[in-house]
Chains A and B, each alone.
Chain A
Amino acid sequence: MTWISKTITVLGGILLAHACYSAQEHSSLQSFRAAAASLTSSSTLTATTLPVDIAIETIVATFIIVLGLVSGTRPLRPIQWRVWAGKLEREGAEGFVDNEGEVNKDYVGNPFKNLEMRPGFVDVRRQRREFAEWVKGGGEK
């Protein structure tokens, strides 16, 4: 998905650059013509506006860039409590990865896990015993 959004953004950028270049060329051409006109005759300066196609190109380019950027964003996080909690339970860490496939740094799983784990009250001797038994039992999962 990301390469599509990147291509769209680059395309929009090219269009925008082209529109800017056209506008710059147009204005320099206008000033050149005005200078040439003042040399040959003393006619009044005609007010020149930007051709409408350049204006349209600029607007279209801007929309294309915005489209590309928006389509490249990560899916939004749920903002409803139960949806978010359900996602946590259902997907675990997998549901909270960024574009590079890394789990987000602020992912902590169920934030109320501590109520069951109680790290302040950890019984280290029982944990050691259980681990030793697990190793003795062959260490299957």
Chain B
Amino acid sequence: MAPSLLHPPSQLSPAAALQLSQQAPSVLQNSPSTINSSPLAALLPSSETPDLWIKYENLLLSCLRTGDDHAAHQCLERLVARFGNENVRVMALKGLVKEADSQNNGDLEKVLKEYDQILSDNNTNIPITKRRIALLRSMGRLSDAASSLVHLLGFSPTDAEAWSELADIYLVQGMYQQAIYAMEEVLVLAPNAWNAHSSFANTPCDDQVHARLGEMQYMAATAPGAASGTYEKSMVEALKRFSRSIELCDDYLRGYYGLKLVTKKLLKDAAKPAKDSEEIDFSLPDSKTIERLNELATVKLSEIIRRNTAQERGWRGYDKLEVAAARELLAEEASAAASIER
């Protein structure tokens, strides 16, 4: 199914993005290059629809991604002609095009200075603030980006997107506790977001995986006694979050995948003797519950994989990579079980 121009294109595969940007000439040709924006013209029937501008914006983004700068500039010109240079959204798009055009760090610094200039005139310009943060992150200045984001959230605390970005920035820096905090804020703003529950759950899970790999040495070093406690606490939290995401969304592949991962790990750890468990103020569900959850996840995952692979009607919406990852996880366990039996 061809991707629609009416939806933001950032998550599309390269092939789909290419397909979209190849539509550019026909879209640009089939719509009028200028649209009269005077109030009188609004009385007459015209070809202007809100969809048109969303199309231009998404086309601009796909063209920038695929390197079709000519079409991108054309889209931008039309948007500027309609909405003017002072529109905040158009300003952000202009900045985006400049970022894409810049060849070296000097150009990027210039763009950054322009953003600073715009913000000194109007420091509540949120799209430009976001662009500036994204540019800082893209230039590798993560701590600057994080502090700017915290500042943005200071005056716009209900922006779930910004909280989510903050969580991501903290996560790549390995600051798991801060990332978890930011993700919790996202959940406060969007409590029904099943993917947020899932990615929130991923955070402590990653946390533990990385802790195992020694990437959380700081935490372990500052709190050697609490290390095992935080580990179990995060696992319990992860278990809860994955369960919640499944509760919010039937047959949610990522939720079941995470549930499988966590229960598998917990069952493996259960063999080890637990120490000081009475000091910790959380309760791990008993091993029977965990085993049942594990079984449920296995059953559901294999059902999803089977029906998706058979391309059954109504089961084709899953991401191919996610299905492949789930298959790998199950195969891994199957081979482990076979080796134990032998």
- State the A residues within 8 Å of B (CB): 81-83, 85-95, 103, 105, 108-110, 112-128, 130-132, 134-135, 139, 141
Contacts and interface: CB of A to CB of B under 8 A. Distances in A.
13 contacts: A81-B192, A85-B194, A92-B316, A92-B317, A103-B1, A112-B192, A115-B193, A120-B130, A120-B165, A122-B96, A123-B137, A131-B65, A139-B18
Interface centre among A83, A103, A117 (most CB of B within 10 A): A117
Contacts of A93: 1, 317
Contact of A119 (B8, B196, B252): B8
Contacts of B252: 85-86, 89
B164 interface: yes
Given A114-B161, A134-B14, A109 B7 contact: yes
B11 A112 contact: no
A85 B250 contact: yes
Contacts of B92: 120
A85 B251 CA distance: 9
A116 B164 CA distance: 7
Interface in B229-284: 247-253
B173 to A, nearest CB: 16
B180 to A, nearest CB: 15
Contact of A131 (B8, B17, B196, B250): B17
Contact of A88 (B66, B160, B316, B317): B317
B67 interface: yes
B137 A117 contact: no
Contacts of B133: 121
B316 A128 contact: no
A114 B10 CA distance: 10
A132 to B, nearest CB: 7
Contacts of B250: 82-83, 85-87, 89-90
A87 B318 CA distance: 11
Contacts of B199: 115-116
Contacts of A114: 8, 160-161
B145 to A, nearest CB: 9
Contact of A125 (B17, B127, B138, B196): B138
Contacts of B46: none
Contacts, number: 145
A13 to B, nearest CB: 33
B68 to A, nearest CB: 10
Interface of B: 1, 4, 6-8, 10-11, 13-15, 17-18, 61, 64-67, 92, 96, 99-100, 126-127, 130-131, 133-134, 137-138, 160-162, 164-165, 168, 186, 190, 192-196, 199, 247-253, 313-318
B317 A94 contact: yes
B146 to A, nearest CB: 12
A86 B300 CA distance: 13
B67 A132 contact: yes
B196 A86 contact: no
B138 A123 contact: yes
A127 B1 CA distance: 23
Given A89-B253, A123-B138, A117 B14 contact: no
B99 A125 contact: yes
Contacts of A141: 13, 15
Given A112-B193, A128-B65, A122 B14 contact: no
B4 to A, nearest CB: 7
A107 B73 CA distance: 29
Contact of A112 (B7, B67, B196): B196
A126 B251 contact: no
A79 B335 CA distance: 41
A91 B64 CA distance: 30
A115 to B, nearest CB: 5
Contacts of B127: 120
Contacts of A105: 6
Contacts of B318: 89-90, 92
Given A85-B194, A116-B199, A94 B1 contact: yes
Contacts of A94: 1, 313-314, 316-317
